[in-house]
Structure 1
Amino acid sequence: MSDDPTRVQEFFGPRAAGWDSRFPDDGPAYAAAVAGLGLCSGDAVLDAGCGTGRALPALRTAVGPTGTVIGADLTPEMLDEAVRAGRDEAGELIRTDVARLPLRDGALDAVFGAGLISHLANPAADLRELARVVRPGGRLALFHPIGRVALAARHGRQITDDDLRAEPNVRPLLSGSGWRMLSYVDEDDRYLVLAVRQDDTVPS
């Protein structure tokens, strides 16, 4: 289920303070997913829905000191935790809805989104907004440190056919939003979709 911005804040706000302690061993998985973006020194990258900023250090390492790293999140408590953890030193933190990014067209080389897609209020439109701010040929990573089966089990649920993260659903969703899917991995210890920004025309 996708969420409206108020529901996202209501869900993540009270959980922010203990968020990192719930997932203390995810660092290597984040670093491996960031590596899949193929970032270069000097690149500009956005962590969309950055939460407590767990991907920011790996993104900074990938783009080097001359690169640009932006962490965007809607929930102020999550951004506060990112600052408390010192991750604001790895990138600029902004409070914003990923549906309305304060970035110019084609400003970025890549977007990283951990646990993002299931919290988008309008997945197709929001992915188009991400495509708008990425140059043609730039990349998108949709990531989760555990796969769909493991995540469903963690929450006491079963996987359903309408899960946006399933390959038959996410592939056409991306292709209708300015992206072409390059690879799809859904294993117990990670979920990772890599896509490339198709061209100068983002479907409206």
Structure 2
Amino acid sequence: MSPSTPASPYEAELARTRAFFGARAADWDARFPDDGPRYAAAITELGLREGDSVLDAGCGTGRALPLLRAATGPSGRVLGADVTPEMLHEAATRHPGTATLLLADCARLPLPDATLDAVFAAGLISHLPDPARALRELARVCRPGAALALFHPVGRAALAARHGRELTPEDLRAEPNLRPLLTAAGWRLDSYTDTNDQYLARATRANP
């Protein structure tokens, strides 16, 4: 894209995401120091096995990467993808050698088809310019039967209150909205939890 070419709405939204998280990367984990056990519980729900290949989509500072490595063992393949260079820098600094890190949009992953056994995505879906497109891309890189965990360490109501907002029926993470979105993208929603202490939607990659 030349300097005179206006950014598409999609690219403009990605740029806003990079700017938002880039400015907060260095102290991001310090803002939420008590979330570790909730991450661990959500990753357990993926049912990872020794040797599995797993992607942390929107990995941020890499908080989940050591947990994913522990779950898949030394023979496993752990990848972390994020669009914000500053976040990936923090992940590389804090968790060296834990995962292969990719500077990549989750809707345009540099991965072959059907190569992953699971995807973990913490706080991702609310920051996607095109959630349907990203979920289709995550399905593309997953084998049939692969697991997807859409996670947040607090539920929708608690998160809305934290930001001084009210929940609306249009909230993408609400089960009636999320289920058809996942189905259309090639996923089957298996379980859905939305409490003050956790948001977790677990899905399975359907057969193509």
In the superposition, the TM-score normalised over structure 1's length comes to 0.95
Q: Which residue of 121, 126, 129 maps to 2:134?
A: 126
Q: Which residue of 132, 152, 155 maps to 2:160?
A: 152
SS of 1:110 mapped into structure 2: strand
Counterpart of 2:191 in structure 1: which amino acid?
S
Partner of 1:169: 177
Counterpart of 1:173 in structure 2: which amino acid?
L
Q: Distance in 1 between matches of 2:140 and 2:150?
A: 16
Q: CA deviation at 1:88?
A: 3.3
Q: Deviations over 1:130-167 (max 9, x none)?
A: 00000000010000000001000110111111110000
* Equivalences, count: 198
Q: Deviations over 1:85-141 (max 9, x none)?
A: 1x2322111111111100000000000000000111111111000000000000100
- Structure 2 regions of 5+ residues with no counterpart? 1-9
Runs of 4+ in 1 over 6 A off after TM superposition: none
Partner of 2:42: 33
Counterpart of 1:61 in structure 2: which amino acid?
A
Q: Which residue of 62, 65, 69 maps to 1:53?
A: 62
- Please report the RMSD computed on the Cα atoms of aligned residues, expressed in angstroms: 1.1
- The sequence identity of aligned pairs, in percent, is 64
1:101 aligns with 2:109: yes
Larger radius of gyration: 2
Q: Give the alignment of 1:1-204 within 5 angstroms.
A: 4-85=13-94, 87-199=95-207, 201=208
Q: Distance in 1 between matches of 2:66 and 2:198?
A: 19
